[in-house]
Amino acid sequence: MADSSSSLKRRALRVWAGIWVPVKLFFKKADAAQLLLAGYLFYMLAGWGLLSLPIAQAVPVNALDNLFIASSAVSTTGLVTVDPGSSYTLFGQIIILLLIQLGGIGYMTFGSFLVLSLSHRWTRFRETVTRAAFPLPSDFDAARFIRRVVYFTLGVEAVGALLLWPMFADAGVDNALWSAVFHSVSAFCTAGFSLFPNSFEDFTGHAGIVFTISALSYLGAIGFIVMTTLFERLTRKRESLGFTSTVILSITAKFAIGGTVILFVAEPSIAALDPAERLLAAFFQVMTASTTVGFNTVPIGNLGMAVLMVMFVLMVFGASPSGTGGGLKSTTLAALAGLMRSVFKRRDTITYMGREISEDRVHQASVSFGFYFLVLAIALFVLFLTEAGASFEMVVFEAISALGTVGLSMGLTGDLSALGKLMVILLMLIGRVGILTFGLAIVARDRNAADKSDNELVM
């Protein structure tokens, strides 16, 4: 008996060593991008395990759907294969909310905040990973930024919940307080998860709820850089907003105004609504696509093709850097617009809004744009094979929504095949990590010098 027990211990130690040694080696050699990718993957798997517990499920949910929901929550996407409000218990919904919060402002943010709160130590390693998670200007103090992110997030979410609570109660929503808390966090983190089976379609004309959800989503999507510079500008610690914040606010406003006008005029599915409700519906759908929050007040599957094209553009570029939203980011659009203008005008410098953009930033924007569509093309190829019965626009919309962590769907998500669900899960993970960071994480660094003997490439 003793020999058997000793044998089991030795076997357990070998198994543990077989797991621990490769993990330790990975963390020793991994760079910031790989650590971010591994971290989000870990939280997706941890969430999957917790949602698989019987205590988390109101009705039986299969393993793949639990993984899908956990991945969607951590990536703050909002695509769902089962209804979170009826499929999961309060415990399960709390798990989903915690995953959304971790994914929304980044797991490294909370980890770093706890370290700063308990020991006040800030290592070079945390500085590097924080700047990989949040593309920060060089003059930003990363440690101070982390504190502000957490305080601002919790404060805004608390105010949002207090505003939504009485409105939900007046509308007859069950468990109005819990619904207010859940939707406030989901909106600020641009997650798009809802406890309502049809998102916010029952509140199309409710201006209070529409504007509260929109305000929360915009505050999360425009990014913590903008909020920090606005705060410093208001407290006179900064003379101007800075180039990045000005670009973000400008593009966000153009998306909101231009998109709302287009939807108000061109979308036939909302034409029967009275003008005020029609304007609210147009604004909300533009807001939800450009912030990548993923809520909706009208059925997305009913939108016309012309408006779907507008939604495609909004979802591709999405929110802003260092925020809770996804997409290629508004600053990428600014850099690409500046590049095109400089080529057409035959300029040596690349400018936007009268300011020169560095070649490194334009290079990053161009690579992100190209790699984004390479990943999208591969995903579409797979989804066209696995979802052969779905229409072209439904598949394209689903893929763009997943890669941009938007969460809107034309109705395909619940009917995805097993392979289709796995493909969408991968897209959501890539979208949350960031297209450029994902590329850096999976491609080995090339230290070999290029051959420059014949480098002329005709375009």
CA dist 173 and 49 (Å) reads: 30
Paired tokens of 226: 């903008």
* CB contact at 8 A, 289 and 255: no
Strand ranges for 125-170 from DSSP E: none
- The residues spanned by each domain of the chain are 27-442
* CB contact at 8 A, 160 and 189: no
Give, in order, the Cα–Cα distances in Å from 212 to each of 209, 254, 346: 5, 20, 45
Q: Give the type of residue at 6.
A: S
Paired tokens of 329: 């980011």
Predicted confidence at residue 20, as pLDDT, reads 53
CA dist 360 and 374 (Å) reads: 21
Predicted confidence at residue 437, as pLDDT, reads 87
CA dist 246 and 355 (Å) reads: 11
Predicted confidence at residue 201, as pLDDT, reads 96
CA dist 24 and 102 (Å) reads: 24
pTM, two decimals, is 0.89
pLDDT along the chain (459 residues), means of 10: 60 58 60 83 96 97 98 97 97 97 76 56 61 61 76 94 98 96 97 96 97 97 87 81 91 97 96 95 98 97 96 95 90 95 92 92 95 98 97 97 97 97 98 90 68 60
